[in-house]
Amino acid sequence: MSEANKEKLSGLTTVKEIMDTATSFEVVARDFYKALAPKVSKNIRWLVDELAEEEQGHVDLFTKLANDPKVSDVMAEKIQRPVADGKFSDCVQVPDLGENPDDQTVLQYALLRETAAMDQYTELADTAPEGPLKEAFTFLANEEAEHKEELEKIYYEVVHSGGV
């Protein structure tokens, strides 16, 4: 998520707007993975497919929330169980995806994306005034953190599995 994105978000005033914008980011991510899939070797394609699916899931969720009148309730409930950040991916280098990335690279890239998104939403939530907007950003940050955690699990399984 670039500075431009952040700017785009910070200017918004309603929850619906935020959700719509967030959705658009997810759509971009999804499309990115979809485009990546054919480029990688078939044995790791499952990974990229899974990432795309995950983003699609977010798209669906955010779209639903944007049009849900009870959006704040749903979010409030989610926020009450904040997802802790383990900072695992901090040790991961910024990968260069290149032409033919392997599974570890893809994972690291995805992890980085999620981390950046999470950080950004967290920052926005911190600066936003108390109210629905803050809630919306916190919710989004949480979502991304959750996703990142999922990825970390996969990362461990893929990379550290053979270490016997």
CB of 36 to other proteins, least distance (A): 16
Binding residue (CB under 8 A) for other proteins from 7, 90, 99, 130: 90
Write the CB contacts of 158 (distance below 8 Å, at least 6 apart in sequence). 47, 103, 104, 107
> Applying CB under 8 A, does 45 fall inside the site for other proteins?
yes
> Applying CB under 8 A, does 96 fall inside the site for other proteins?
no
Using CA atoms, how far apart are residues 23 and 57, in angstroms rounded to an integer? 10
> Applying CB under 8 A, does 162 fall inside the site for other proteins?
yes
Site string for other proteins, 115-144 (x = CB under 8 A): ------------------------------
Binding residue (CB under 8 A) for other proteins from 46, 60, 73, 77: 46
Residue ranges in contact with other proteins by CB under 8 A: 41-47, 84, 86-88, 90-93, 95, 103-104, 108, 149, 152-153, 155-164
